[in-house]
Amino acid sequence: MSKYDIIVLGSGPGGYVTAIRASQLGFKTAIIEKESLGGVCLNWGCIPTKALLKSAQVFEYLKHAEDYGLSVKDYDKDFNAVVKRSRGVAEGMSKGVQFLMKKNKIDVIEGFGKLKTGKKVDVDGKEYSADHVIIATGARSRELPSLPQDGNKVIGYREAMSLPEQPKKLIVVGSGAIGVEFAYFYNSMGTEVTIVEFLPNVVPVEDEDVSKQLERSFKKSGIKIMTSSEVTKVDTSGKGVKATVKTSKGEEVLEADIILSAVGIKTNIENIGLEDVGIAVDRDKILVNNYYQTNIPGYYAIGDVTPGQALAHVASAEGILCIEKIAGLHVEALDYGNIPGCTYASPEIASVGLTEKQAKEKGYEIKVGKFPFSASGKASAAGTKDGFVKVIFDAKYGEWLGCHMIGAGVTDMIAEAVLGRKLETTGHEVLKAVHPHPTMSEAVMEAVADAYGEVIHL
C-alpha cells in the first residue's frame, strides 16, 4: 500500500490547485483522476467554452466590419473547425496541468477512487492511504424528470461544445451562465435560439437591471426569450424534438433540432464511498466546517460537492485554505459574500456582493449609482456601448455593498470591486482613486460618482 500525507480525489480547479499547494508546503501528495487532468472546467467547461465564445466574437466582428470602416467581402464560419479549436485549447490546458503535476512532484493515480475507512482510497482494486484525504469530485449537468438527456436530441453542456454539426434551431432550457453563454454562441453562429426560463428574469441570480439589459441585448441579436415558462414534456420521436412549454398564457409547442438542458448541476458524490466512511451529506452536498473538514476526522471536501458557490475560483480558494489549515498556517474563513460571479456571453456579466433588492431587504439605506457604457469614450470607440456599471453603497458608512456590471470585458473589471470590498473601502475612496482614461474601468469611478451626486460625464 502506498502511503501519502495528502490524497486529493479529483483533479479539477479545486483538486489540482489543492495538490500543488500541498506539495509547496512539503506534503507528499497524490491526486486521483478517472478521466482527464483539469476536470470538467479545463476539459468540458470554463476553458473550452471561452474558446467557442471567442470564435463567436470574431465572427461577429466580421459581420459588422463595415461599422469599423472596414470591408470584408468573403467570410464564413466552419463550425467543425471552431469546435476543433476549442478542443485543442482544452487539450493544451490539460497538458499544462500534467506539467504542473510533474514539476511539483505530485503522483497522478489514474482510475476511479472510492473512499475507505481508515483514511484509505481504493482505486480500481489498489489501495492507497494518507493522513488527509480531500474530496474534490465536482459536479455534472443536472437532469430534470421532464427533460431526460439522451446525449443526442436532449443534451447537456458537454455535448453542446462538441456537436458534430451545427443545429438550425436550438432550445436552451435555463438561463444561468451556462445557458446564456451557449445561447450567445449558437445565435452568433447562425442558429435560431430560444431560451426558456422558469423564473421571471433571465440570469435570475443577477441584479434585475442586469437581467433586463441582457434580455434587451439578446432580443436585439435575434434570440427569443420566454420567461416564467417551463418545459413540461419533450417528444424526440420525430426527426427533431418538440418541447411542450407551459407559459402564463397557456401551453405552447416549440420545435427544434436539439434541446440544451442548462438547469444547474448535480454533484458527483455517488459511489465514492461516503456512506461506507460515514461522511455526512445534506441535499446533495457534503457538510463541512469553515476549514472544509467533514464530520469524519482526516476527510475533507472542497468545491462543487460542498454548499458554497459552484465556481472554479471558489473551489481553488477553498482547496488552498483547506491545505494551509492542515499545515498549521494562520487562515481566515472564506467570505462567501465577496465571491465574484462572471458570465461570458456578449455582453459579459460580472457581479459581487448584494443586489439592490437584497440590500433593501436587509434594511440598508442605500446610495445607488449607475454609469452606462453609452457615455464611455472607450466603449464608443470600441463599438461596445451596450451595458453599464452599477454600484450600491450603504448611505450611513459608505460600505461598498454590491457592484454589478454588464458590457464588453467586464469580467476583467470586477476584481476592483472584490478587492475594494475586501479592504473595506468606502465610496469616497473609490471616487478619489484616479482611474485611467479612456478605459472601460473608469465607468466604475463614474458609477460611484453618480451614487454620490458628483458624476461628470452623464
CATH number at residue 440: 3.30.390.30
In a domain, 149, yes or no: no
Domain count of the chain?
Answer: 3
In the DSSP assignment, the letter for residue 430 is: H
Indicate the residue among 212, 228, 263 that finishes a domain: 263
Residue 302 marked in a binding site: no
pLDDT of residue 1: 65
Residues 318 and 383 occupy one common structural domain: no
Residue 148 lies inside a defined structural domain of this protein: no
Q: Which of 64, 428, 437, 457 is catalytic?
A: 437
Encoded amino acid at 72, one letter = V
pLDDT at 35: 87
Q: Is 264 annotated as a binding residue?
A: yes
- Domain membership of residue 227 (yes or no) is yes
At 301, list the grid cell.
471536501
Residue 12 counted as an annotated binding residue: no
The 10 Å Cβ neighbour count of residue 59 is 18
242, 263, 284 — which closes off a domain?
Answer: 263
Looking at the structure, tell me whether residues 370 and 302 fall in a common domain: no
CA 261 from chain centre, in angstroms, equals: 16
Given the DSSP bridges, would you call strands 107-110 and 29-33 parallel, antiparallel or unpaired?
parallel
341 is in an annotated binding site: no
Residue 437 annotated among the catalytic residues of the structure = yes
Check the annotation: does 38 bind a ligand: no
109 lies in the same domain as 46: yes
Q: Does the residue 342 lie in any domain?
A: no
Pairing of strands 113-116, 107-110: unpaired
Q: Measured between alpha carbons, how far is 355 from 208 in angstroms, rounded to an integer?
A: 8
Answer yes or no: do 112 and 161 share one domain: no
CATH number of the domain that 181 lies in? 3.50.50.60
**Pair (315, 395) in one structural domain:** no
For residues 310 and 368, membership in a common domain is answered with: no
Is position 457 within any domain?
no
- Do 241 and 279 belong to one domain? no
pLDDT along the chain (458 residues), means of 10: 93 96 97 89 87 95 94 93 94 92 96 96 96 96 90 92 95 96 96 97 97 96 96 93 94 96 94 96 96 98 95 96 97 96 96 97 97 96 95 96 97 97 95 95 96 89
Does 133 lie in the same domain as 6?
yes
Alpha-helical runs (H) found in 280-362: 312-326, 356-361
Are residues 361 and 330 located together in one domain of the fold? Answer: no
On whether 442 is known to bind a ligand per the annotation, the reply is no
- Residues 25 and 36 placed together within one structural domain of the fold: yes
- Does pTM surpass 0.85? yes
Q: Are 373 and 408 in contact (CB under 8 A)?
A: yes
How would you class 369 by CB atoms within 10 Å of its CB: exposed for 0-12, middle for 13-18, buried for 19 or more?
buried
- Let me know if residue 245 belongs to a domain: yes
Q: How far is it, in rounded angstroms, from Cα 129 to Cα 121?
A: 6
Q: Does residue 341 sit within a domain?
A: no
> SS3 for 423?
coil
Residue 456 in domain = no
Q: Which three cell numbers stand for residue 405?
A: 456590471
Under the phi-then-psi rule, with left for phi > 0, alpha for psi from -120 to 50, and beta for the rest, what region is 27?
A: beta
50 among annotated binding-site residues: yes
Q: 374 and 327 in one domain?
A: no
Domain that holds residue 378: 347-451
Which of 210, 241, 263 is the C-terminal boundary of a domain? 263
**Do 257 and 270 lie in a common domain?**
no
pLDDT of residue 46: 86
